[in-house]
Structure 1
Amino acid sequence: MFKQALSSIAAFALIFSIGSAFAAVDVNTANADALRGIKGIGPAKAKAILDERQAHGPFKDASDLSARVKGMGGKTVQRLEAEGLAVGATSKSAAVAAPPGGANSAGATAVSASTSAKPVVVKK
């Protein structure tokens, strides 16, 4: 009985930790370091995203990002969203969140790498 309960608790903890390890990086607020943290975005692509965002404002959605940043087609943006990139308020990645008020609920905290960096939202 005790072993069964212990294994059930361990399985639940593992499933919960996998789900809460995912942290979306918002393309409209992330700095270069946060963007490079997404698998598939290197220094050059991060710079291109930041330059375009600074020159023409925030991205409205995934298709806007794809149209405005050279080398980022629709399939590339979809793959990056699956890796944790969030684009706009309606992004699929932005919808992933921990349950509110739970014992292990995650809040958002603004983090800045330098004084000139844009804030990045990171789960606690």
Structure 2
Amino acid sequence: MKKATVLAIAFAAIGVFSLEANAQSTETPSTQQPQETEQTQQETGKQVITAEELPDGVKQALKSDALKEWQVSEVYKVAPVAQDAAAKSTYEILFTNAEQKRAIARFDEEGKAVAGGQE
């Protein structure tokens, strides 16, 4: 049962990576001012955190075979948009691989891949 769960997470992560990698295949110039980046993060509810600050479920998801060729480059905690008490934070992880391609994966606190989200 545990293997089936890990396999399902791996397939979900691959699907998310495929969509995000295609959407971000163009290089974005890094000419943004630091103030703009901080302002954008505040508007979207993103908070930069370290990989060590991730919940255990997300850390386990990052250890899957589907992600072994990718390195974590940035980690964000994204606050829920809704002011609902049941709304939970998600974690957005930016990856790079050997060819310097970028991909984004989003997980909930339990380590399950979530689709879409804020950009």
- Classify the TM-score, shorter chain: under 0.3
> Higher helix share goes to which structure?
1
Normalised by the length of structure 1, the TM-score is 0.25
> Higher strand share goes to which structure?
2
Normalised by the length of structure 2, the TM-score is 0.26
Please identify the structure whose Cα radius of gyration is greater: 1
